[in-house]
Amino acid sequence: MSDDSLGLLIGVLIFFLLLSGYFSASETAMMALDRYRLKAQAAQGHRGARLALQLLGKTEELLGVVLIGNNLVNAAATALVTFIAVRLFGQSELALTLATLSVTFLIVVFSEITPKVIGATYPEPVAYASSYVLVILRRVLYPAVWFVNLFVKLLFKLMRLKPDSQQADRHLGVEELRTLVSESGKFIPATHRLLLLNLLSLEDITVDDVMVPRQQIEFIDLTEDPERLAGQIATSHHTRILACEGSLDHVIGILHVRRALPSLATEKLDPEALRQALQEPYYVPSGAPLFTQLRQFQNNRQRLALVVDEYGELQGLVTLEDLLEELVGEFTTQAPAQAGWIRPQEDGSWLVEGGTLLRRLNRQLGLDFPLEGPKTLSGLLLEQLEDIPEAGVSLKVAGIPVEIVQTQGRAVKIVKLMPPR
């Protein structure tokens, strides 16, 4: 064999290896594409993305083209290496063995592993570039692909598999969406990412998790002395106040403070005038998901709802602001006298009102109190101790040192939280 013919054969062999590498990289890159990102780029008019999406629309044809082309090229490369070995060393067993080992090494390293790693690492550039050629090859090799797929479909029927329907029914679940958003990195700003994660959690959170408990509801008693009523309304830090007769067991309406201003301007407050300004109370069942309640607020044009249990007993109060804060975080300052306050101390600890919601503590202080049972810190401590505690009692809850500073009646009034170590 002359040097020129040997050089030509080696050149053809290198071409076969590169062509095989192209098929391997294309196959891996196509399969590694993010289908949702691909659809988004195709919708934006990216030519390569549209071709890739078209090819992936018929996966069996795409794989048929790639595998037929790859196997044909690998077979040709194997035959060529064998031919070169026989011409150089004769038809000895040693020559054939060396030829087999050589072509296997070349194909595995240069035509399989290296191209596939490149395709998996850079799926979009490789897939989009190769899709131009694959579209043409699919048309050229269509008869062969059609013939091969006849046997493939027969095997699918025998195994009772329907790959097309399974692919069509593939959807992202809530947990998958959470993972997708969490790992979006630089593609979604941190504030937007947090907002999306909070939105996905609205179905798992109920009004019980965010409502103001019954014991902390500020209300006015219309049977009280008019002067005291006027003082309560004038000093209230809320725009809407619950109006009752005697106690919270007899709620008669919601008073918008703005509507009470004309009555406050008179020398003596007229309770009957306040009754005329009341709005009908709006009730929601305990356990209602926040997302459902948000839609109800929107549909009924309400901003405040009273949460009742299955017996109609008042359990708490939830506002539109409470729901929005679950999405975007706290965006208003609390009233000085409002229950649920959190005060940082010089030693790094926090003094916390016992009625503070556990969800708020976890979100604001970065803690990990359990949320499955009691909703407030006081309720959690009573559950842990299984008794009415006394001031000075210390314990650990969820790895967080807790000291009870003050109790009131059957509830924990003030608690000191130490930062977890």
Among 299, 328, 357, the domain-final residue is: 328
- Residue 241 burial (CB < 10 Å; 0-12/13-18/19+)? buried
Whether residues 9 and 143 share a domain: the answer is yes
- Tell me, yes or no, whether 336 lies in a domain: no
**pLDDT tens, 86-108?**
777 777 777 778 888 888 888 89
Question: CB under 8 Å to 55, separation ≥6 — which residues?
Answer: 30, 61, 62, 131, 134, 135, 138
Q: Which two tokens stand for residue 219?
A: 């209300």
Whether residues 98 and 155 share a domain: the answer is yes
Whether residues 122 and 157 share a domain: the answer is yes
Q: Is residue 353's pLDDT more than 90?
A: no
- Tell me, yes or no, whether 186 lies in a domain: no
User: Total structural domains in the chain?
Assistant: 3
Identify residue 285 by its one-letter amino acid code: P
Phi, psi angles (nearest 5°) of residue 81: -65, -40
- Tell me, yes or no, whether 192 lies in a domain: no
Q: What is the pLDDT of residue 334?
A: 52
Whether residues 43 and 136 share a domain: the answer is yes
- Tell me, yes or no, whether 100 lies in a domain: yes
- Domain span at residue 126 reads 3-168
Identify residue 80 by its one-letter amino acid code: L
Q: Is residue 341's pLDDT more than 80?
A: no
Whether residues 322 and 212 share a domain: the answer is yes
Whether residues 11 and 144 share a domain: the answer is yes
Q: What is the pLDDT of residue 231?
A: 84
Whether residues 82 and 161 share a domain: the answer is yes
Whether residues 264 and 411 share a domain: the answer is no
Q: What is the CA radius of gyration of the chain?
A: 36
Q: What is the pLDDT of residue 30?
A: 92
Q: Which two tokens stand for residue 96?
A: 């054939």
- Tell me, yes or no, whether 175 lies in a domain: no
Choice among 241-245, 327-331, 380-384, 416-420 with the minimum mean pLDDT: 327-331
- Tell me, yes or no, whether 200 lies in a domain: no
Q: Is residue 330's pLDDT more than 60?
A: yes
Whether residues 346 and 324 share a domain: the answer is no
Whether residues 7 and 45 share a domain: the answer is yes
The C-alpha angle with vertex 140 and arms to 149 and 22, in degrees rounded to 5, equals 85
Write the CATH number for 355. Answer: 3.30.465.10
Q: Is the pTM of this model over 0.95?
A: no
Whether residues 355 and 316 share a domain: the answer is no
Q: Is residue 335's pLDDT more than 70?
A: no
Phi, psi angles (nearest 5°) of residue 161: -110, 145
Average pLDDT estimate for 124-141: 91
Among 168, 196, 221, the domain-final residue is: 168
Residue whose tokens read 């192209």 = 22
Q: What is the pLDDT of residue 79?
A: 87
Whether residues 84 and 212 share a domain: the answer is no
Q: What is the pLDDT of residue 36?
A: 79
Rounded to 10 deg, the angle between the 3-32 and 114-121 helix axes is 30
- Tell me, yes or no, whether 374 lies in a domain: yes
Spatial distance between the Cα atoms of 287 and 387, rounded to a whole number of angstroms: 26
Among 297, 328, 359, the domain-final residue is: 328
Q: What is the pLDDT of residue 117?
A: 93
What region does 386 belong to: left with phi over 0, alpha with psi -120 to 50, or beta? left
